[in-house]
Structure 1
């Protein structure tokens, strides 16, 4: 009986220590999860951070071509002469901000193993603030102050589309990193719209 009692006590102690260790590990993981606001490089993050629902995948899939067009518009403007310096600075800033976001979004889609083959990316041509081919041709043909004005008018519409898409992700997304980026897009592009409206009013 004494041997059985001692064995039972030892088993209970071992179980308690294992449970305590698991609890500490879980808390540490939770703390790391809370600190992880980076992109797809955070491979040590808990698996829950890597999970994504349909809203996350749609957000990443649609925001990539949206950002790509904004960069194309900016490049088009920056190739022109006699452009307002404030508009040049704005276009440079858009390129600097949105290319890294494209890289991040592409990385997430790969990390999630997302199948984007039937996401209907072509539909972006007719929604989300995307410019039509005619819009892009008009910007390409514009010069001087007219080009500055047209770029601002088009980019305001473009940003409004991105903000709407980002709000959808904030409200319906599951992945913490993706919803954080969506909120950043809302904040950054709302501020840029205000700047563009001020510049436009002064031209």
Structure 2
């Protein structure tokens, strides 16, 4: 009888020890899991912060300069819809507007994310004397240029539009080249590369329409 009680007691103790081991293992597993999850979340948050902050002054200057630069190009392209006589010019203008409008929105979002000012000035304003437009924005047309383009129509508009847009595009390529060389933010340097590729091709197309190609 005593032997039976001893066996029962040992079985109970063994079961208790096993249960305790399971509880400890479970607690340890939960703790480890929480720690891993916390570490993962912390890592993701850190990566997100790095992505948002991985930019430099050149990236900011590029976005703040290219937004009004694109806005002016879009404004010029809109004129072509009603003032141009050439179907080729109208088609080109339409493509310019469709390409640059989304880029304006993208760059605006970058600046908001970075806590930087988003340019709000309307395109076509006087950004400095001559076609140079102003510091940091080569190729910008001044108020007089835009007023002349707005009054033009037919073949005269076509020639003026193409001549101005070639210079405008050359300025954009120059700005984008600087961004590729000195920028840090990946999406911005990628956009700069796309601007160089697209607008260099459009410059060739416009020069051909002007009889220079």
Within-5 A mapping of 1:83-102: 83-102=85-104
- Corresponding position: 1:172 with 2:144: no
**2:62 and 2:179 in contact (8 A); partners too:** yes
Q: Which residue of structure 1 lines up, in the alignment, with residue 146 of structure 2?
A: 136
Provide the C-alpha distance between the structure 2 equivalents of 1:147 and 1:111, rounded to a whole number of angstroms: 39
Q: Which residue of structure 2 lines up, in the alignment, with residue 59 of structure 1?
A: 62
- Deviation at residue 130 of structure 1 after TM alignment: 0.3
What number of residue pairs does the alignment pair up?
167
Q: Which has the larger radius of gyration?
A: 2
- Deviation at residue 195 of structure 1 after TM alignment: 0.6
Which of the residues 72, 77, 87 maps onto 1:74?
A: 77
Q: Which residue of structure 2 lines up, in the alignment, with residue 200 of structure 1?
A: 210
- Deviation at residue 172 of structure 1 after TM alignment: 0.5
Tell me, which stretches of 5 or more residues in structure 1 are unaligned?
Answer: 1-13, 30-42
What SS does the corresponding residue of 1:125 show, helix, strand or coil?
Answer: coil
Q: Which residue of structure 1 lines up, in the alignment, with residue 199 of structure 2?
A: 189
- Corresponding position: 1:125 with 2:133: yes
Greater relative contact order structure (CA < 8 Å, 6+ sep)? 1
**2:108 and 2:118 in contact (8 A); partners too:** no
- Corresponding position: 1:158 with 2:168: yes
Provide the C-alpha distance between the structure 2 equivalents of 1:75 and 1:189, rounded to a whole number of angstroms: 18
Q: Which TM-score applies when normalising by structure 1?
A: 0.72
Within-5 A mapping of 1:106-117: 106-115=108-117
Q: Which residue of structure 2 lines up, in the alignment, with residue 104 of structure 1?
A: 106
- Deviation at residue 60 of structure 1 after TM alignment: 0.3
Provide the C-alpha distance between the structure 2 equivalents of 1:56 and 1:132, rounded to a whole number of angstroms: 25
Tell me, which stretches of 5 or more residues in structure 2 are unaligned?
Answer: 1-28, 120-125
- What's the Cα RMSD here? 3.1
Give CA-to-partner distance per residue, 1:88-131, whole Å, 9 cap, x none. Answer: 000000000000000000000001112468xxx95683341000
- Deviation at residue 187 of structure 1 after TM alignment: 0.5
Alpha carbons of structure 1 residues 45 and 93: separation in structure 2 relative to 1, 3 Å: farther
Provide the C-alpha distance between the structure 1 equivalents of 2:117 and 2:155, rounded to a whole number of angstroms: 43
